[in-house]
Amino acid sequence: MTADRPIIRLKPKVQPRAVRHGFPCVYDNEIVTDRRTKALAPGTIARLEDAERAPLGTVAVNPNSRIFARMLDRDPDAVIGPDWLRARLEAALAHRARLFEAPFYRLVHAEADGLPGVVIDRFGNVAVIQPNAAWAEVLLEPLAAALAGVTGVSTIVKSASGRARGLEGLDDETRVIAGTLDGPVPVEMNGATYMADLIGGQKTGLFLDQRPNHAFAARLARGARVLDVFSHVGGFSLAALAAGATGALAVDGSAPALALAEEGATRSGFSKRFATRQGDAFAVLEALAQEGAQFDVVICDPPAFAPTKKALEAGLRAYERIARLAAPLVAPGGYLGLCSCSHAADLDRFRTACTRGIGRAGRGAQLIHTGFAGPDHPQHPALAESGYLKALFYRLMP
């Protein structure tokens, strides 16, 4: 019964305008906290009111998190249960079904799909849930049941990777919660077969957000020699080979990721044109330069160098360094792609760092394309962090 639902209120000096206009989070310094509110169990569903006791909506609460409340529904009397979960998933599925012929996509992109803190990636008959907020962990069983009912997937994995769960005080146990999983899952994208390790791999096993950027880079790579740095399971290199690249070298620090890339290349029929090199990306870039290596297309897709505002300046220096080391490896008239998944580094700052790095390498450049995550990763209009991915493509002058 919603009548028994606990009530939390904004502090008198906190304007409710942002929440009323769609901002999905309320922070701990904006809430009136007392012994009662601090005692609420993480994941509790509550009613949010402004200082004048006017209702703002139904929220999920976590007193242990910097994000004290996450907006679930503008209706303060919404019942957050199986029917509500099913409706949100059906709406998310309807959007993806219009976009993709095959069921390989991000099904739920957290706040942008009305399920704050929840990420769900679909790989055919397998789905991976990242319940990165306490309320989703509490409701994981009905969420999984609703997911199976709406999509028909037979296997569901709970992924506990990533720093967000730690900030919520949640465990780090990744496990299969429904069905069975025999090993890495083959995923068809951009003409190539990728192998996704849904248990031991990074994030949910595959970076689906880069799909349109893989496709753009592949257009540049026809008949080209390609270097794919921070390749993970071969994201840019396998797409390039599918488009007709003469050869591709994938560089990553993870031996298991490179093994999956090699398996993907073999399954795709590209193994004779594909090579890997394990090692620290910065060190490998320096070594390739000393070897006099040149490529027609170089792509660098590093992990988030600036995951927080505190890490921003160091992260921007790292992005600049990557650009400076990669630019000399691009043949005259070739192309350089530089990516960032750091939400703390906005597009302008990232572009400035990359352009400075290219200039410091003594190369002139044209910025020819700016890419973002695909439409299965919608942005929440009021939450800039949901537009985290940026991809810059430069042509380096002859």
Residue ranges matching CATH 2.30.130.10 in the chain? 2-73
Please report the pLDDT score of residue 73 as a whole number.
97
Question: What stretch(es) of the chain map to CATH 3.40.50.150?
Answer: 186-396
State how far the Cα of 325 lies from the Cα of 328, in Å rounded to an integer: 6
On the 0-12 / 13-18 / 19+ scale of CB atoms within 10 A, 115 is buried
The answer to whether 132 and 117 are in contact (CB under 8 A) is yes
* Backbone dihedral angles phi then psi of residue 363, each to the nearest 5 degrees: -110, 140
d(CA 116, CA 108): 10
One of 25, 300, 341, 354 is an active-site residue; which one?
341
275 burial level (CB within 10 Å; 0-12, 13-18, 19+): middle
| Contact present, 115 and 87 (Cβ < 8 Å) | no
Concerning whether 341 is annotated as a catalytic residue, the answer is: yes
Residues of the chain with CATH 3.30.750.80: 82-178
Q: What are phi and psi of 111, to 5 degrees?
A: -55, -35
Residue-wise pLDDT tens digits, 234-277: 999 999 999 999 999 999 999 999 999 999 999 999 999 999 99
Give the pLDDT of residue 334: 98
CB neighbour class for 373 (10 Å; exposed up to 12, middle 13-18, buried from 19): buried
Side chain identity, residue 62: N
Amino acid at 359: G
Please name the residues in contact with 389: beta carbons below 8 A apart, sequence gap of 6 or more.
Answer: 209, 210, 339, 340, 341, 372, 373, 377
Measured between alpha carbons, how far is 100 from 152 in angstroms, rounded to an integer?
16
Long-range contacts of 159-162 (CB under 8 A, 24+ apart): 159/128, 159/129, 159/130, 159/198, 159/203, 159/204, 159/205, 160/130, 161/130, 161/202, 161/203, 161/204, 162/130, 162/132, 162/203
In the prediction, which pLDDT does 372 show? 97
pLDDT of the residue at 53: 93
Which of the residues in the chain have pLDDT under 70? 1
pLDDT of residue 130: 96
CATH topology assigned to domain 186-396: Rossmann fold (3.40.50)
Tell the CATH superfamily of the 2-73 domain: PUA domain (2.30.130.10)
Total-model pTM: 0.95
Report which residue type is found at 90. E
Whole-number pLDDT of residue 13: 87
Residue 16's pLDDT is what? Answer: 83
Q: What pLDDT score does 10 carry?
A: 95
296: Cβ contacts below 8 Å, ≥ 6 apart:
221, 224, 225, 226, 330, 331, 334, 335
Helix axes 82-99, 140-151, angle to 10 degrees: 40
Q: Is 329 helix (H, G, I), strand (E, B) or coil?
A: helix
DSSP readout, 179-244? S---S-EEEEETTEEEEE-TTTSSTTSS-GGGHHHHHHHHHHTTT-EEEEET-TTTHHHHHHHHHT
Give the C-alpha separation, 274 to 381, whole Å.
40
Give the pLDDT score at 1. Answer: 55
User: Distance between CA atoms of 90 and 86, rounded to whole angstroms?
Assistant: 6
For the domain with range 82-178, which CATH number is right: 3.30.70.3280, 3.40.640.10, 3.30.750.80, 2.30.42.10? Answer: 3.30.750.80
